[in-house]
Amino acid sequence: MSQEDLSRQAYWRAHLRLLAICLAIWFLVSFGLGIILAAPLNAISIGGYPLGFWFAQQGAIYTFIILIFVYAWRMNVLDRKYNVHEE
C-alpha cells in the first residue's frame, strides 16, 4: 500500500471520528433533550420556558447551526493537515 493510500485512510478515519462526535451532539440535543428527556426537563424553567419545551422548539435549532459551522471549520483544518484541500 502506497504512502498516499495510507494518508488517505488516516484522513478518512479522522473524518469519521469527527462525524461521530458531531452526530452524537445532533442526536443528544434533539431526540435526547427535546423528546425523550423533555418531560423531566420541563420541571426546570429558564425564564418562562420549560427547559424540555425550549430544546424542542428553540435550543436544538441553535445547536444545529453552530454544529455545521464547527464541522466545516474542523474539516478545513483536516483537509489542510492531510493536504487534500482545494485551491
Partner 1 sequence: MDQQTLSLLVVGATFALYIGIAIWARAGSTSEFYVAGRGVNPIANGMATAADWMSAASFISMAGLIAFLGFTGGAYLMGWTGGYVLMALLLAPYLRKFGKFTVPEFIGDRFYSKVARVVAVISLLAMSITYVIGQMRGVGIAFSNILEVPLAIGLLSGMAVVFIYAVLGGMKGITYTQIAQYVIMIFAYTVPAIFISLTLTGQVFPQIGLGSTLQGEDTYLLEALDQTMVDLGFTMYSATEGGMSMLNMFLLTMALMIGTAGLPHVIIRFFTVPRVRDARKSAGWALVFIGILYTTAPAVGAMAIWNLVNTVHPGEIGTEEGHLAYEDKPAWMERWEQTGLLAFEDKNEDGRIQYYNEDNEEFAAMAEEEYGWEGSEIVTLDRDIMVLANPEIAGLPGWVIALVAAGGIAAALSTAAGLLLAISSAISHDLLKGVFMPRISEQNELLAGRIAMAGAILFAGYLGLNPPGFAAEVVALAFGLAAASLFPTLMMGIFMKKMNKEGAIAGMLVGLVTTLLYIFTYKGWFFFSGTAMLPDTEEYWLFGVNPTGFGAIGAVFNFVAAYIVMKLTKEPPQHIQELVESVRVPRTDNPS
- Rounded Cα–Cα distance for residues 71 and 45 (Å): 30
Q: Is 87 helix (H, G, I), strand (E, B) or coil?
A: coil
Give the residue with the Cβ less far from partner 1, 6 or 58: 58
Could you say which residues in the range 41-80 bind partner 1, by CB under 8 A? 42, 46-50, 52-54, 56-58, 60-62, 64-65, 67-69, 71-72, 75-76, 79
Q: Is the dihedral of CA 50, 41, 54, 56 positive or negative?
A: negative
Could you say which residues in the range 24-43 bind partner 1, by CB under 8 A? 26, 30-31, 34-36, 38-39, 42
